[in-house]
Amino acid sequence: MGLTIRFQKNMVECSLLEKGLGKPFHPGDRREWTPEWDRDRCIRCGLCYVYCPDGAIYRTDDGFFEADADKCKGCGICHRECWFGAISMVKEE
Amino acid sequence: MDKFNLYVPNFLPFKEYFIPEKNHACPGCGLALAIRQTYKALEKEIEKATWQPLMSAEAFEERLDIFEMGKTEVSFLRIPKGKADIILCLDNEAGGSLSDVLEKPMPSIAVAEGFHYVAAACPSYPFDLYAKIKRGFQTEGKVYIHILCPCPEEWKFDPELTVKIGRWAVESRAFPLYEVGGGVYHLTVETPKPRSLSDYLKAQKRFEGLSESDIEEAQAFVDNEYKRLLDTIQKYLDTTG
């Protein structure tokens, strides 16, 4: 078990530092849940942007936030951390 | 609603140096979150960063071996700056028992070894982490920053709880955030009303088999460690005036 953890960890570490290792892929392909923003409740504070581990959330021109479907892995951190409950997780079809 | 418009990201640089297209991390990875926030603090300097294997001959020369890891596995990220380096320890507590997990001797060892700036940080407090890495980069000399990265796969919790679990670790005083260097030795996040440790431990399925007496023992251990930290801070303040 220790060896597997070590191996996985090395793989993740290498890919995070971007040294030309690892093939490009679309992390969003295996997603089950997608975040959706309720614009009436959103105060545009940007906490979801700060806490996204994958850098998938970006700010649109009108100040609201949206997730890039190609990068989002559907972890749900933004849904948990939103103070106003403006983000709901919707099951992918 | 307009007067509540506080743009949190405006306190951080908007430019994204993190490239997620090749990011093999699991959903809700605390390590990826910590690295992304580090990228924001370091901006262009991050390109020089390298992972430092603990047991290599080079690391031995650089005396990285002073950090006794116990049984958990940690990763070291080394970022060169001026004469000395920043050493970031990304600790996701892989493969440790409860006592290994609660004992974090590395920052105090670094202080004893004469590092010029030592800090403990957690990605659940992004501005705190950002400020610490910035300050570490501006400090002359050796820098050590210990970052706790919750890992949903290894700790066995729901990926959406990553940030919350990190916050509970700090609130329950299991991982106090503090910094040493530049004439200061203080807690950066105060916890006047601590959360009970069982909240933090029971949220993780890796500690499912713990009995009540184990948790009480762990709570006593954590309280003792916290008291020792406060004593050290008091002693430091007394000696420096």
ipTM of the complex: 0.81
Residue type, B9: P
Tokens of B111: 């202080």
Tokens of B93: 């507590």
**Residue A7 resides in a domain:** no
In B, minimum Cα distance to A49 occurs at: B9
Instruction: State the residue for tokens 């992390």.
Output: A27
Please, which residues bridge with residue B144 across strands? B87, B118
Q: What pLDDT digit, counting tens, does each position of A30-65 carry? A: 778 889 999 998 888 888 888 988 888 888 888 888
Decide if B94 and A75 are in contact by the 8 Å CB cutoff: no
Q: What is the domain range of residue A83?
A: 27-91
Q: How far apart are CA B27 and CA B17, in angstroms?
A: 19
Q: What pLDDT digit, counting tens, does each position of B123-149 carry? A: 999 889 988 988 988 888 888 898 998
**Residue A12 resides in a domain:** no
Strand stretches in chain A, DSSP E: 33-37, 57-59, 65-67, 87-91
**Residue A37 resides in a domain:** yes
**Residue A83 resides in a domain:** yes
Give the one of A1, A44, A75 whose C-beta lies nearest to B28's C-beta.
A75
Q: What is the CATH number of the domain that holds A85?
A: 3.30.70.20
* This prediction's pTM: 0.84
Decide if B36 and A25 are in contact by the 8 Å CB cutoff: no
